[in-house]
Amino acid sequence: MGPSRSFQNLLLLLLPLALALCSAAASGEASRRFWVENDTFWKDGAPFQIVGGDVHYFRIVPEYWKDRLLRAKALGLNTIQTYVPWNLHEPKPLSWEFKGFTDIESYLRLAHELDMLVMLRVGPYICGEWDLGGFPPWLLTIEPTIELRSSDSTYLSLFPGGQMVGSTTPKNRTTIIQQWRSYHHGAGKSIIENEFGSFGDDKNYLHYLVEVARRYLGNDIMLYTTDGGAIGNLKNGTIPQDDVFAAVDFDTGSNPWPIFQLQKEYNLPGKSAPLSSEFYTGWLTHWGERIATTDASSTAKALKRILCRNGSAVLYMAHGGTNFGFYNGANTGQNESDYKADLTSYDYDAPIREYGDVHNAKYKALRRVIHECTGIPLLQLPSKIERASYGLVEVQKVASLFDVIHNISDTLKVAFSEQPLSMELMGQMFGFLLYTSEYQEKHSSSILSIPKVHDRAQVFVSCSLGDVRKPRYVGIVERWSSKTLQIPSLSCSSNVSLYILVENMGRVNYGPYIFDQKGILSSVEIDGIILRHWKMHPVSLNAVGNLSKLQLIMQMTDAEASKVSIYGDSENKSQDVSLYLNEGISEEPAFYEGHFHIDSESEKKDTFISFRGWNKGVAFVNNFNIGRFWPAIGPQCALYVPAPILKPGDNVIVIFELHSPNPELTIKLVKDPDFTCGQ
């Protein structure tokens, strides 16, 4: 990536906005404008009705960006909305990413080529059922603790663009601002916070965001907020005195026009074009719930009530996509322990399904309504995307986590501490962290207590002088349930080694508990005594495709080592390991590998991996993290595998199963999604 392109893309992240309306205007067409007047949106001197929909570039493999935008255009949309997650683009402080999934410039260019406006929700906060609401988790390591979404001076200095207020803009950045503004439709349209009224009432924060936005985009840019269509939300989240337009969102069961009338009270006279900035076509689903669905007919009728009276609406979602990797968000209820993580699938019951299908009742019903109310011509429906069933795939166990923990933990990141450290302080922003310590056991069983663990801990024990690569599974301590666990006596001749594998299941993205650190966040007690002297291993899953080669080397090494006794006292050795020789391990985190062959490029098709019979874990296809599976609780049974991830020839699937695999050691590659597990 050349310097000019890097700076241009960097600017997109420096804009401290939650929503910016960009257009396909070519450079030099400064006369083109977008504004609001007489309670109407105007574009190029004519009234304009926003018929938009969310299509998030980071939830779609880049090879499918154009396909999904074409399907949105065929739905009748003239506008695309997308968040820009700060955490994806700045995973480490001042380390920016703009390639692959993060190549936002290419995504905007595609929308430009298709003559679609783009509502760009840049942040710093996006919500979006995305990990930490889009905030990078390294913010959680700042001391003293910062207050997110507030006028906290440290926070303001860290979010993209905030540090530039009051400084002199370098000449080269000024040039790039003008280049970026060429994507805008004249003045453009920019939101400064996403549903802030349901979070707080810090007006100084909102005023500051306006100041930053004006600095970067000029005084002619039309700024606006979006909040739920209720008095309290609008009162807290709007700032009409700054000439900031107030949009509203509400559920499809609400009567839109009384809410649009309320919206007028929080806008300047003549500046209140009716806009539902999030018209919900479906809803999110957490693990353990039934898959959320909404009726196609009632959804279409609700949209008709807006569009046929010349109101504007943005479908949330038009196309949901997938929470690949570890980026799913989570929600809480009455307290932070009432934790609910989102599925890997972000299908959202949207008209364009997770795998791109548009031949469904909801897509067709919404398409008819959009055409009827707006007169937007009906384009030909895109063809169906072919999907393949590659059949049954046998897998084999490659290694237990405890076999390879020293090989997949960066020795420079392994840490020692008197008390357990959070994942963030360990530099382990996503995935798993293994905590180890020792204690002196009693003759009877012991009680383990972890008052605060985020989010799910698997506990194992072994005799410290025994086979520490084969610890015994004890049980689970979960954020949302019991925080204590009974540990049986091992009758060790030495101390007991304690192993706690903690999974970060996704950070909270909405509400008062958004400051969501992960790992063990309290002391750990055995029978009321605080354990000290912890060793922490970050679990790296970046190269799981090499585990089979690693295990082959380890087996050869172990064969040599078995010829030499490493114990001075063979009696102690037999005493310590006899437990494991007699009892096998029913559950252990382990890696499994399977292969399937694709004959040619033309045979590459979308597919789904069914994990029925498996328990919980993460799956990788050709070293690409396709997400978490948890069929034991459901409702999602299968993970989506887009064709661009596959390749002609040998394709490798690696599964990190946290408990026990399908007893037949098989998975199945099928054509269709399945949301009926655990029901």
- 50-64, pLDDT tens digit by residue? 999 999 999 999 999
Select the more confidently predicted residue: 302 or 196: 302
Pairing mode, strands 415-417 and 446-449: unpaired
Residues 6+ positions from 246 with CB-CB distance below 8 Å: 224, 225, 226, 227, 234, 237, 238, 240, 263, 266, 267, 272
Pairing mode, strands 456-463 and 496-503: antiparallel
CB 66 within 8 A of CB 110: yes
Res. 412 pLDDT band, cuts 50 70 90: confident
Whether pLDDT at 294 is above 70: yes
Instruction: List the end-to-end C-alpha distance of the chain, in Å, as a whole number.
Output: 48
User: Can you give the pLDDT at residue 551?
Assistant: 58
At the top level of CATH, which class does the domain 46-374 belong to?
alpha beta
593/659 Cα distance (integer angstroms): 16
Residues 6+ positions from 493 with CB-CB distance below 8 Å: 463, 465, 572, 575, 576
Select the more confidently predicted residue: 66 or 559: 66
User: Can you give the pLDDT at residue 550?
Assistant: 62
Please state the separation of Cα 197 from the chain's center in Å.
23
516/25 Cα distance (integer angstroms): 41
For the record, the structure tokens of 401 come out as 């986590």
Phi-psi region of 506 (alpha: psi -120 to 50; beta: other; left: phi over 0): left
Res. 553 pLDDT band, cuts 50 70 90: very low
Select the more confidently predicted residue: 357 or 185: 357
Pairing mode, strands 525-526 and 446-449: antiparallel
Nearest to 658 by CA among 518, 486, 502, 525: 502
- On average, the pLDDT of the chain sits at 85
Q: Which segment, 97-101, 117-121, 193-197, is predicted with the most confidence on average?
A: 97-101
User: Can you give the pLDDT at residue 586?
Assistant: 59
Alpha helices in 330-470 (DSSP H): 361-374, 401-404
Whether pLDDT at 460 is above 50: yes
Query: For 625-665, what is each residue's pLDDT tens digit?
Result: 999 999 999 999 999 999 999 999 999 999 999 999 999 99
Pairing mode, strands 51-55 and 79-83: parallel
- Arithmetic mean of pLDDT, 570-578: 31
The angle formed by the CA atoms of residues 427, 432 and 434, to the nearest 5 degrees, is 90
Res. 382 pLDDT band, cuts 50 70 90: confident
Nearest to 83 by CA among 119, 136, 116, 113: 119
481/324 Cα distance (integer angstroms): 27
Whether pLDDT at 178 is above 50: no
Percent of the chain, pLDDT > 90? 68
- Of the listed ranges 18-32, 74-88, 564-578, the least confidently predicted one is 564-578
Percent of the chain, pLDDT > 70? 84
Whether pLDDT at 507 is above 60: yes
Catalytic residues: 195, 278
Pairing mode, strands 184-194 and 117-121: unpaired
Res. 466 pLDDT band, cuts 50 70 90: low
The domain spans of the chain are 46-374, 386-399+544-552+584-678, 410-539
Instruction: Please report, to the nearest 10 degrees, the dihedral formed by the alpha carbons of residues 486, 488, 494, 496 taken in order.
Output: -40
Res. 667 pLDDT band, cuts 50 70 90: very high
Whether pLDDT at 310 is above 60: yes
User: Can you give the pLDDT at residue 356?
Assistant: 98
Alpha helices in 409-538 (DSSP H): none
CB 225 within 8 A of CB 191: yes
Res. 31 pLDDT band, cuts 50 70 90: low
CATH number, span 386-399+544-552+584-678: 2.60.120.260
238/224 Cα distance (integer angstroms): 8
Q: Which segment, 118-127, 308-317, 483-492, is predicted with the most confidence on average?
A: 308-317
CB 647 within 8 A of CB 567: no
User: Can you give the pLDDT at residue 62?
Assistant: 98
User: Can you give the pLDDT at residue 189?
Assistant: 55
Residues 6+ positions from 47 with CB-CB distance below 8 Å: 40, 41
Do 46-374 and 410-539 agree at the fold level? no
User: Can you give the pLDDT at residue 541?
Assistant: 93
Q: Does domain 410-539 have CATH number 2.60.120.260?
A: yes
Whether pLDDT at 581 is above 60: no
- Arithmetic mean of pLDDT, 398-420: 92
Whether pLDDT at 510 is above 90: yes
